[in-house]
A = this chain, B = another copy of it.
Amino acid sequence: MNFPDLFDAFDAAVLPPGLPDAAVLRLRHDTVARELAAGEQLDLDPGRAFFAFLGVGACKLAAFVSSAREQIVSFHFAGDVVHVPAQGRYGYTLSALTDAQLLVIPADSLSRSGPDSCGMLRLASRETENALARSRETSIILGRRSAQERVASFILAIWDRLGAGSQDDGWIDLPMSRGEIADSLGLTIETVSRQFSELRDLGLIETEGRSALRVIDLPGLSRCAGQLPVAA
């Protein structure tokens, strides 16, 4: 996918309808396309915040905590808009899990003044709010859940995200390693592996090779995740 196609996809999927052409054109002007190979990391000015629209592939947003370990803030897939914050107490990096194509949009280009920029601002506000909601859910999972609940929650989330549109045989491919799963759940590789094995032994999931995964018993897995129905 080249820049025009990527931008069109972005326009169709994300931009609110009815934006003035001038605003879209200016946004298009500020936007840059990037192609990342699997494992490659997006190199940006750490002092500025960005939004990234992921057209193709899968990415992780990670905070640098120490040389030994990073905390993965979120995983993203085709069609997602990622909020990459400016460096505060921690530095953030966006890296590709698979070959990826994305658009990079400086956050301040969405919030520039001007009579026609309200739509852009609303977009930025909405995406930031989405990111906030996801982040707060992450906090809840990290604060209160056992290893098994975390892994089960993770599988459910990935299943929700990748299972629907995937092939009909019900298998999905995890684009991230066990280590990356561990880094996103605040666990070690070994514990993640053990929990995968246990969920397999319980007959809730099936795995094949490093990355193939199938959920057999969705309600059972939800129970393992400690999911409560949303309080009415």
Contact = CB atoms under 8 A, between A and B. Distances in A.
Interface of A: 49, 63-66, 69, 71, 73, 83, 85, 87-91, 111, 113-115, 117-118, 121-122, 124-125, 128-129, 131-133, 135-140, 142-144, 185-186, 228, 230-231
Nearest to A184: B143
Nearest to A143: B186
Nearest to A135: B135
Contact of A133 (B88, B144, B230, B231): B88
Contacts of A69: 144
Contacts of A66: 228
Nearest to A111: B122
8 closest pairs, A vs B, by CB?
Answer: A143-B186, A142-B142, A121-B121, A135-B135, A125-B125, A132-B132, A128-B128, A71-B140
Contacts of A71: 139-140, 143-144
Contacts of A63: 136, 140
A131 B128 CA distance: 9
A121 B63 CA distance: 28
Contacts of A113: 118
A228 B65 contact: yes
A65 B137 contact: no
A85 B137 CA distance: 12
A81 B115 CA distance: 26
A140 to B, nearest CB: 5
A20 to B, nearest CB: 12
Contacts of A88: 133, 137, 230
Nearest to A185: B143
